[in-house]
Amino acid sequence: MPDNTLENNYIKFASNFTVAIRKLSLYPSKHPAVVYSIKNLNSSLQEILNIKNAISISVSSDSSILIEGCSVSEKGSRLIEDLVAYFKRLDIESLTLTLGITDKELEAFIRILLMGPEEIKKIGDLNKVFQDNNIQHIKIAQFSYIKVQKGKAVLELEADRQQLLNRLKSKIKDYSQGKIQKFDDIQNLEKDIIDMATAEFKEKKNLLSPTKNMLKKFLLKSEDRQDVILRLNNNLLNSGCLPQEVNNLVNRIEEEISKKPIDRLQAVRIAREKAEKLEKENEDLKLKISQLQKELDSKAATYEGIKKEHLRITQEKERIDNIIRHMAEGLVVVDSQGNILMLNPVAEKLLGIKQNCIGIPLGKILKDEHLLALVKNIMPDKNGNIQKDIELLSPDKSTTRVLRTSSAVVEDHNGKTVGMVTVLNDITRQKELEKMKSDFVSNVSHELRTPLATIQQNISLLTEGLGGVLNEDQIKFLNIAQDNIKRLKRLINDLLDSAAIEAGKFKLSISKADVNERINNVVTFLSRWAKAKNISIQTDLLPENEILEMDKDRIEQVLTNLLSNAIKFTPEGGKVFISAARHDPNELMPQGAIEISIKDTGVGIAPSDMERIFGRFERGGAINTGIGGTGLGLSICKEILRMHGGNIWVESKLNEGSKFSFLLPRGQMNPALSTK
C-alpha cells in the first residue's frame, strides 16, 4: 500500500478527474471553468508523477476505481464513482498516464470519454481517435471480450470471464442472504451484471446459461424488478443491439421469472415518463448551474478588475505623491473657495506655512495682497495658464524674496472652476542678476551717448569743409565713420529702450497722426539703402488719410525696424511690399483697426525660430545667415504696439520670405496702456 500522502494524492486526482469531466460536459473548451479544472487536474497529476514516472488507473471487478492497485472509490468523494460509468461506456479496463502529459492531452482524452461508442465507431476505434488527437502520454487497455481488430479472431480471456462470473455469483448469494443491503452496493452489483450480460449478448447474440441464471436470480430478489429490466433493455439498445432481438430476450427472461405475463409495455411507459421527467429536471438544473457559474465568473472577473484597478490607482497615487514631495519647485493646490488642498515641503518653506494648514483658506494664512492673487482676480491666458511674479518681504522687512507663480485653473466636466494648481519658483537671484545686467547696460549706454554725439558732430564739421579741403578718399572714409556712428547710436537707443521697458519707465507721447504719412517717411528714409541693394519697395496704402492717436515717433521706429529688417534679409534684386488696410472690429478693438504689413522675398525664418523671435536678444535667422543684429528690435516693436493696444505677428517660409503684420486700433487710446 502507498503511504498516506500518496494515497491522498490518488483520491485528490480522481476527484479532480471527475470534476473536469463535468465541466467539459457543460462548457466549451476556452471557458474559464474548463481551463481552471484542466489545470487543477494536471497539477494534482504532476504531484504524483513527480514521485512516480507513471500511474495506472483501472476498473476492478466490483466496479471500483483502482489507482496503482489502491481502491479510491470507498475512501474518496462520491464524484469518483462517476468515473466507472465513463470507463465502462467505452469498455476501458485500464489506462496508464506517463510523465510529460500536457493540459491539451488531458482535455482531449476527457472529450473522448464524453463521446458515444457509435461516434467512436464512425472514426474507427479508440486507438485511431487517440492518434488523431496526438495523445502520446495516455495508454489504454479494453475489456477482453471486445473485438480488437476487424476481420480477425476475437481475443477472449475465458479465465478472467469465469472469474468475474464466479465473483458475481458469490455476491448474488450474499445479496439473497441479506448480507448486501447498502443501496450503492446493490446498484454496483446490478450494473456489473447488466454490463456482463450486455457484452455477452452483443457478442454472441444470446445469453449463456450461467449468465442468464445469474441475471434471473438477481431479478427474483430485486424489489424494483421492472426498473432493473428496463435498465437492462436500455443498456442493450445503447450498446447497439437490434430492438427486436432485445425485445425477444427481455420477454423470455420475464416469462421465465414469472408465471403471469407482465405488462412490460406499461412498465416501460411509466419508467420512460419518470426518466423524461428526471431528464428535464436534470437539464433545468444544468441550466441553472450554468447561469450561476456564469454569474459567478462575471462577478469574479469584475472583482479582479476592481482589485487590479484599486492597486493601480494606489500605486499611481503613491508615485504622484513622491514626485510632488520631491519637486524642486513649490506646489500649492486650492479649491474654488481658496481652501488649501495640498502643498509640498518646498511650498511650505517658501510661503512659511505648515501641513496642518490643509483645509484652511489661503487668505487667512497669507496676508500679502500679491499672494491673495493666487486664488482670485487673475485672468488666465488663452491656454488657461496664469503667470505672475510676486514679492515677499521678510518679517523684519529687511529683505525681499521674488517668487514666480505659474497657475492653471482646474475645471470639472461641465467647465466649472473647481480649484487651481500653482507652481512656485524662487527667482530672487535671477531677478537680482537681471537688475544688475539692466543697470549696467543702461549706465554704459548713457556713458557712450555723449562721446558719440561729440564724434558725430566733429565728423559733420569735417565733411562740411570747416577743417580744410578734403579729397574724395577722405570724404569716403568720413561717410563710412558717420554711418557706423549712426548704427552705434541706434544700438545704444535700443539698449536704453529695452532697459526702460524692463524697468517700467518706457512711456509714449500720444498725438494724432496720419498712418500713410508715417509709412512714406520711413520708405523715403530707407530708399537709398534699398536702391544700393537693387531692391524695389512697393506700397499699397490707404485710399485716404487715416488719423489715429499714436506716438508717431515710436510707430516710425516700428516701421523703420521692420522695413530695415526686410531690406537686410532680402538678397540683391529682391522685392519688399508695404500695405495698409482697414481691419474689421472685434472684442479687443471694437472700433476696428489699421493693419500694416511688410512682406519681403528674403531668406525667411525657420519654424523653430518663429515662436521666440519677438523675445529679447533673439536674432532668429540672423545667426544662420551671418547678418548682424542685437536681437532687441522686434521685442521693442512688440512692446510699443502693446502699449498702443495693438499686436504684431509673423508669417514666413524658409527661403521664400517673411511677412510681418501689426494692428493699430482706431478710436481713442486707453491712457493706462501708454505707460509700462
Taking each helix axis from N to C terminus, what angle separates 264-325 and 4-26, rounded to the nearest 10 degrees? 100
Burial of 112 (0-12, 13-18, 19+ CB in 10 A): buried
Pair 226, 177: CB distance under 8 Å: no
Pair 71, 65: CB distance under 8 Å: yes
pLDDT, residue 87, reads 79
pLDDT, residue 353, reads 73
Measured CA to CA, the distance from residue 283 to residue 303 in angstroms comes to: 30
pLDDT, residue 144, reads 47
Question: Three cell numbers at 138?
Answer: 495516455
Q: Which residues contact 190 (CB under 8 A, 6 or more apart)?
A: 218, 222, 228, 231
**DSSP letter (8 states) at residue 95:** E
Compute mean pLDDT per 10 residues along the chain, 676 residues long, and list them.
Answer: 72 87 86 90 90 82 73 57 74 84 90 83 83 87 48 45 80 84 86 88 82 87 86 85 85 78 60 84 90 91 91 90 85 85 82 74 65 47 63 63 81 82 84 73 69 77 76 80 75 72 77 92 91 93 89 90 92 94 84 92 86 73 52 84 90 91 85 55
pTM, entire model: 0.40
Three-class HEC string of 640-651: HHHHCCCEEEEE
**Residue 232: other Cβ atoms inside 10 A:** 22
Q: How far is CA 621 from the centre of its chain?
A: 42
Measured CA to CA, the distance from residue 474 to residue 72 in angstroms comes to: 125
Nearest 5°: the CA angle 367, 371, 374 is: 130
4 HSE (CA, 13 A, CB side): 0
Measured CA to CA, the distance from residue 131 to residue 135 in angstroms comes to: 6
Concatenate the DSSP letters of all residues of 577-589 into one string.
EEEEEEE---SS-
Measured CA to CA, the distance from residue 249 to residue 267 in angstroms comes to: 16
**DSSP letter (8 states) at residue 27:** S
Residue carrying the nine cell digits 483502482: 66
- Domains of the chain, CATH where assigned: 1-142 (no CATH), 330-426 (3.30.450.20), 432-503 (1.10.287), 511-674 (3.30.565.10)
pLDDT, residue 312, reads 92
Pair 591, 549: CB distance under 8 Å: no
pLDDT, residue 375, reads 43
Q: What is the β-pairing status of strands 536-540 and 575-583?
A: parallel
**DSSP letter (8 states) at residue 177:** T
Compute the Cα dihedral for 26, 28, 29, 35 and give only its sign.
negative
Pair 29, 157: CB distance under 8 Å: no
Compute the Cα dihedral for 112, 115, 116, 122 and give only its sign.
negative
Measured CA to CA, the distance from residue 86 to residue 59 in angstroms comes to: 11
Measured CA to CA, the distance from residue 10 to residue 115 in angstroms comes to: 25
Burial of 638 (0-12, 13-18, 19+ CB in 10 A): buried
Residues in the chain, total: 676
Name the 3-class secondary structure at 159. Answer: helix
Pair 569, 619: CB distance under 8 Å: no
Q: Which helix (H) or strand (E) holds 92?
A: strand 92-98
Burial of 278 (0-12, 13-18, 19+ CB in 10 A): exposed
Closest to 596 (Cα-Cα) out of 610, 608, 579, 584 = 579
Q: What is the largest CA-CA distance in the chain?
A: 167
Question: Three cell numbers at 668?
Answer: 481713442
**Residue 382: other Cβ atoms inside 10 A:** 5
Closest to 168 (Cα-Cα) out of 312, 160, 470 = 160
Pair 196, 168: CB distance under 8 Å: yes
Q: Distances in Å between the alpha carbon of 625 and those of 161, 589, 650? A: 108, 38, 19
Question: Three cell numbers at 611?
Answer: 515662436
**DSSP letter (8 states) at residue 153:** P
Q: Distances in Å between the alpha carbon of 67 and those of 210, 223, 483? A: 31, 34, 112
Concatenate the DSSP letters of all residues of 532-586 into one string.
HTT-EEEEE--SS--EEEE-HHHHHHHHHHHHHHHHHTS-TT-EEEEEEEEE---
Please give the single-letter amino acid code of residue 456: Q
Measured CA to CA, the distance from residue 302 to residue 308 in angstroms comes to: 10
Taking each helix axis from N to C terminus, what angle separates 264-325 and 225-238, rounded to the nearest 10 degrees? 70
**Residue 290: other Cβ atoms inside 10 A:** 14
